[in-house]
Every structure is written in C-alpha cells, then in structure tokens.
Amino acid sequence: MGRLIKNHWARLIILTASAYQIGGAIEGFIWPKVFWDFMTDNLNGAVNPIPVLQILNLLMGLVCIAWEWPLKYLAGSPPHRSIEFRLILYPLSALLSMLLYQGTDPAIYYLIGVGVYFWAYSEGEYYNGSDNGSDYDVPVNKKTSFHGHLNQYFHTTKNIIPAQSQPTTKPTTTTTTRTTTRTITRPVTRRTPISAPSTPNPSDEKQASTSLKRKRTRNADSDSTTNPRTTRTRSRISSPSSTNTNTDPPPSLLIDTIPPNLTLLLVGVNPGLLTGLTGFSYAHPSNLFWKLLHWSGITPIRHRPSDTYRLPELYNIGNTNIVSRPTRDASMLSRAEMDAGVPVLEAKVARQRPEAVCLVGKSIWEAVWRVRRGRGIRKEEFRYGWQDEGENMGKEAGGGWAGARVFVATTTSGLAAGMSVAEKREVWALLGEWVRGRRAVSKV
C-alpha cells in the first residue's frame, strides 16, 4: 500500500464540510440563530430579519463544492491548482460557518481540512503546470472528476490506444451436445489493422443480415443412458470497447540523462506509471527519492520531479533505469526483464564513465549478481552501501578503465514498506557524505 496523498484526503474533508455547510445554511433559514448569542446579541441582526449569514454560508458552501469537485470552468485554473489559495479561502469559510448555530460542525471539518492541506503544503505536495503540458502534478490538484479519473490515486492509469483497426465480420459458432441441437450463427467483429476506413458495401450488409439462421436437429440415435445435452451456438457482435483487451501502459516518456564523466549515476528499477506519463523521474508524490536526495545532502535543496533534467547541470548527477517499461510497481517486472537490463546498464556505464553508480533498490543489485555469477545472491552476501572494487561496473577487460564504484541504496518507492524512513535515510546518508566530499574536492 502506498503512502498517504494528503491533498486527496484534505479534498474529501473539504467536500464533506461544504455539503454540511449548505445543509446548515438551509436549516438556518427555517430557524435563524447565531451560535454566540449566549455571549452577545450584537450578531443577531446578521440572521434576522435579513438572513445575511445564511446566504453567505450557502454561497460559500456551493463555491467550495465547485472548487473541489471541481466545476468544469474552474478545473485547471491557477487558483484551483493552488494549495496556497485553499489555505486562504477555507479559513474564511470556517469563520462564516462557526458564526451560524447550525454551522459549528462544518466549521470543525473546515479547520481539519485546512490543517491537512497545510500538512500537504509543508510536505512539498504541489502542482507545477505549464501551458505546453509538460508538468508535474499531485493528482488531487489535476482536473479531476469521478468519471474514471480517481484510479490514478491507486497507482493505475488509463491506456488510450489510437483507433487503427476496422472490424470485419466473420461468422463463428461454438457447440455443446444435447439431444436437441440449436445452432445460431451471427456475425462477430475481429480487429484487423488497415490503413484507412473502408466504405461499407450494401450487398455485404444484406448478406450479413441473411446469415442468421436456425437449425433444429433431432438426435434419434442417442443412448438412453446418456444425459441429454443441447448444442447451442451463440456469437455476439463485439463492441469496439470490448475488443480492446490491451492493458499495457503507453511507452514511458522518461529520457536517460547520462552525460560523460558524471560524479554519480542514479539507476532506478523502472519508471512508475506517473513517471512514464510525465517524463519526470520518481514523479509519484509517495516516492521518497527527492526527499532522500535532500536529506542526505546530495542536493542542497529539495527539488521537484520537474527538475529531473537539470541534475546533470546543477550537480553532475544523472539518471537511468535498468528496465524502461513502466509498471505500477517493480514487482510486476519479471526476473528475465531485470537480467536483460544488466548488460545494457553495463554498456551505458562503460560508454559514459561516471565516477560512481548508485543502484536505487536491492533488486537491481540482485539482478547484477545473477548475471555475473549465474546464481542468486545469498542473504549473508548482500549489504547496502559501497561494494568491493572488484564489483565495479563498466570496467574494461584489457585493464584500461577500472570501472565505476557501486553503491547499493534502498528503494525509494512508497509501495515498499520493508524498511522505515529512518533506516533508508541512514543508508542514503553514506552516499550523501561521499558526494559532498567529491563536491568539495572539485571546488578546490
């Protein structure tokens, strides 16, 4: 199970509060009362005779629902994508709500939602959008609706396949045996790739319509001791949506960043679905990669995934993966895929010659070990951190380049719960110490 996406949680709390606020405002029209009338009567004029407070609560509740649902015309707008705007708007809504007698409960919900949004903001969940579509998003701040888009919170994505096929008809039948045999033949569609849509032929349509026929046969020779069975054949015309059974995600948009002579090359297992869709490394909000880079001192600030392609320029650090196929999590990769990526990775390292290679995840080192030794690594043979110099990657056989040192780091995936965050930080701190040392030497 992944880490909590706080934006999504806060959104649901605010939707609950705004619906509750609307109900309280409607009840306030029937029974106008200020919650604080036991302390002062100065606020009574806000609810009676003119229901100012009720109207304001009703409008504010509708605005909040339109903001978080969101309404079509608000979805994707800068205020809708902004957590800062929410931190300004919702306290005002809570204030209006708590003045009304029927609005104290939604006021508490608003304050809780504001607290969770502030938590999300302090954790760095954000939306960094641009008009050209190359952006990084915390999913809750996207143009969201309940028409299939909520699946992105469960680390899945839709696969949209361009229409490149035209159905052609072919009668098919399936049979089982009974005493009475009924055969119904109907045309079904089969996807056949073609270059352009064809024009339907009226004669073909007429022939297809007359192809429906029924046959009734009696099996007079059937054995009396045999259970009677009926043969019935039905084939249905497949709709275009039912014929598309391809569930593979689209190809990843992530590009390797491996200029020559890097200080450090970071090697991931494979792109996640959000990474593949955005083209930014470790893009899912639950992934700890960017936090661990900052916590370990590898980067002096906490970068966002949209800075993926700036790392070589800023810190002489590159990124690649041992497998390029995006999946929901690394466990969906086969061992053969992992092993096949090892020689490709070795070739990249030998060609670009980074000073050190960091394998982000135990499974990558296990694949390298299998390919090199023909067997799996034993428990007592595995360790995080720096490996022996004999394990360097990309080294030349003729005794030229000695290869890149190998550092095995923990996985940063939010789906991996085998180690605590503190344990992961401890491992990454060793790598950060080395990077800071190399950076200090290069400045001298």
Do both 315 and 206 map to the same domain?
no
- Looking at the fold, whether 284 and 409 belong to one and the same domain comes out as yes
Digit-coded pLDDT (tens) for 320-339 = 999 999 998 888 899 999 99
Residue 358 has pLDDT above 80, yes or no: yes
Domain for residue 256, yes or no? Answer: no
Half-sphere exposure of 219 (CA within 13 A, CB side): 15
C-alpha 291, offset from chain centre:
18
More confident residue, 246 or 208: 246
Cβ neighbours of residue 251 under 8 Å, at least 6 residues apart?
Answer: 276, 326
Q: Does residue 254 form part of some domain?
A: no
Q: What's the confidence (pLDDT) of residue 323?
A: 95
For residues 282 and 303, give the distance between their C-alpha atoms in angstroms, rounded to a whole number.
11
Summarised one tens digit per residue, pLDDT across range 202-219 is 444 444 444 434 434 444
Assess whether 333 and 312 both reside in one domain: yes
Q: In terms of pLDDT, which residue wins out, 415 or 286? A: 286
φ, ψ for residue 314, nearest 5 deg: -80, -40
Q: Where are the alpha helices (DSSP H) in 213-352?
A: 240-243, 273-278, 289-295, 311-315, 335-352
- 37 and 183 in a single domain? The answer is no
Q: Three-class SS of residue 230?
A: coil
pLDDT tens-digit series, residues 163-214: 343 444 444 444 333 433 344 444 444 444 433 434 444 444 444 444 434 4
Length of the chain: 444
Which residue has better confidence, 62 or 138?
62
Task: Say if residue 119's pLDDT is above 70.
Answer: yes
Residues 177 and 140 in one domain: no
Q: Is there a domain that residue 318 lies in? A: yes
Query: In which domain, by residue range, is 147 found?
Result: 6-154
Tally of structural domains, the chain: 3
Amino acid of residue 275: T
pLDDT digits (tens, 9 = 90+) for 57-99: 999 999 999 888 888 777 778 888 888 889 999 999 999 999 9
Q: Is 249 among the domain residues? A: no
Question: Do 305 and 439 fall into the same domain?
Answer: yes
Do 357 and 426 belong together in one domain? Answer: yes
- pLDDT confidence of residue 142: 37
Higher pLDDT, 160 or 31: 31
Looking at residue 3, what is its pLDDT?
58
Mean pLDDT value across the chain: 76
Are both 214 and 71 inside the same structural domain? Answer: no
At 41, the pLDDT band (50, 70, 90 cuts) reads confident
Q: Which residue, among 253, 243, 251, 273, has the nearest Cα to 163 in the 3D structure? A: 243
Residue 160 lies in a domain: no
pLDDT higher at 243 or 428: 428
Preceding omega of 79 cis (within 30 degrees of 0)? no
The domain boundary residue, chosen from 243, 277, 305: 243
Contact status, residue 209 vs residue 160, Cβ threshold 8 Å: no
Q: What angle do CA 160, 164, 170 make, to 5 degrees?
A: 115
Residue 103 near residue 24 (C-beta atoms within 8 A): yes
The per-residue pLDDT for 203 is: 47
User: What does the alpha-carbon distance between residue 354 and residue 267 come to, in Å, rounded to a whole number?
Assistant: 12
Q: What is the pLDDT of residue 81?
A: 81
Residue 335 is which amino acid? R
Q: Locate tokens 């955005």: which residue?
A: 278
Query: Which H or E run includes 441?
Result: helix 421-443
Whether 71 is in a domain gets the answer: yes
Q: Pick the more confident residue, 315 or 229.
A: 315
Rounded CA-CA distance 120/159 in Å is 29
Q: Residue 417 — pLDDT band, cuts 50, 70, 90?
A: low
Choice among 9-23, 212-226, 261-275, 399-413 with the minimum mean pLDDT: 212-226
Same domain, 239 and 284: no
The answer to whether residues 400 and 274 belong to one domain is yes
Residue 412 scores a pLDDT above 80? yes
pLDDT at 85: 87
Helix (H) or strand (E) holding 63: helix 52-68
